[in-house]
Amino acid sequence: MPNPSPSIEAFIDALPKVELHVHLVGSASVPTVLELARRHPDGPVPVAEDALRDFYEFRDFPHFAKVYDAVSSLVRTPEDVGTLVLGVARDLAVQNVRYVELTVTPYTHRRAGMPMPAITEALDIAAREARERFGVRVAYIFDIPGEFGADAARGTLDHALGHPPEELVGFGLGGIEQMRPPHRDAFRDAFAAARAAGLRSLPHAGEMTGPETIWEALDGLGAERIGHGTSCLDDPRLVARLREARVPLEVCPTSNVRTGQVAALASHPLPRMLDEGLFVTLNSDDPPMFDTTLTGEYRAAAEVFGLGRDALASLARNAVIASSMDRAARDAVIADIDALV
């Protein structure tokens, strides 16, 4: 990870932050994954640290997805779910992250044999404990693994409406974009029902496919925020739509490099997205798997893209504004950002 100047580095460390795009399984630190792997030694994940780090060297996005699924297969009990939530809260607290919207894919945990009420109870207990122990408020986004199609859409919706965690704020769509079924009605229907129940529409789109996926997220799924969205730059009309509507984009630079969507950080489209006046937030996606942190993403923005204090603070404010925090909580974090600047 690049090394900004000491003054900028200290500023980034002190900057109050909000994380909007990080996955429960992908947030698991190496020690946490090793704990799970040793807890379930029959699983496909190495139990030695050096072997696990080699396991995290990704050839491309499909290979990353395969590794991610292997780690996800270790999440078999409510205790495992709680271990993951508390692990990410602990890791974020030391980065001065005040609030996180943690993406959970409950469909995969149910396929592993956990019933809905047990998953929800584990998420509720862990969110309360994260706030008490680490001072981090945890909210949840329930995410459809898109490649599983209509069954996953219905199953995720049933869980979100029938057994929602107390801190459930959003409904998402992830997985390998190219493997989403061409028949979109199941996703559209699920998102319509989720929005009607008061959940925000927060799908991934435009990470590994073109602008058409972002258009579908906006017009078919009613997206309020877009996960990644980097391919929007290929369509000037879409850029204008996103800019005029102030649709937040959850940009994850290191993730895009590590999964082969971008050749190198220096060629990442983030600077151009900012130049286009798009509403950008910085995020870490699956930080231990990509050898990054949210703080590391801010440091890279300073070192690689040349962003100064005001620009970094603006990105931090954007994340607060785009979050699902209540107005008083948002105002408090923004006031702390302004005081630091």
For the segment 100-144, what is each residue's pLDDT rounded down to a tens digit? 999 999 999 998 899 999 999 999 999 999 999 999 999 999 999
* pLDDT of 220 above 90: yes
101: part of which helix (H) or strand (E)? strand 97-104
- Calpha distance 70→63 (Å, rounded): 11
> Quick one: pLDDT at residue 6?
66
240: part of which helix (H) or strand (E)? helix 236-245
Residues of the chain with pLDDT > 90, as a percent, come to 77
> Quick one: pLDDT at residue 106?
95
Is 3 in contact with 305 (CB distance < 8 Å)? no
List 207, 216, 250, 297, catalytic entry: 207
Label residue 286 exposed, middle or buried (CB < 10 Å: 0-12, 13-18, 19+).
buried
> Quick one: pLDDT at residue 4?
66
The answer to whether the predicted template modeling score (pTM) of the entire model surpasses 0.85 is yes
Which CATH number is correct for 6-340, 3.20.20.140, 1.20.1260.10, 3.30.1490.20, 3.40.47.10? 3.20.20.140
- List, edge to edge, every strand of the sheet that includes 226-228: 204-205, 226-228, 249-251, 280-282
Q: Tell me the pLDDT tens digit for each residue of 279-293.
A: 999 999 999 889 899
Q: Tell me the pLDDT tens digit for each residue of 190-219.
A: 999 999 999 999 999 999 999 999 999 999
> Quick one: pLDDT at residue 289?
86
**Residue boundaries of the structural domains of the chain:** 6-340
Q: Clarify whether 207 is annotated catalytic.
A: yes
Amino acid at 305: F
Q: At what angle do helices 116-134 and 149-162 cross, to 10 degrees?
A: 60
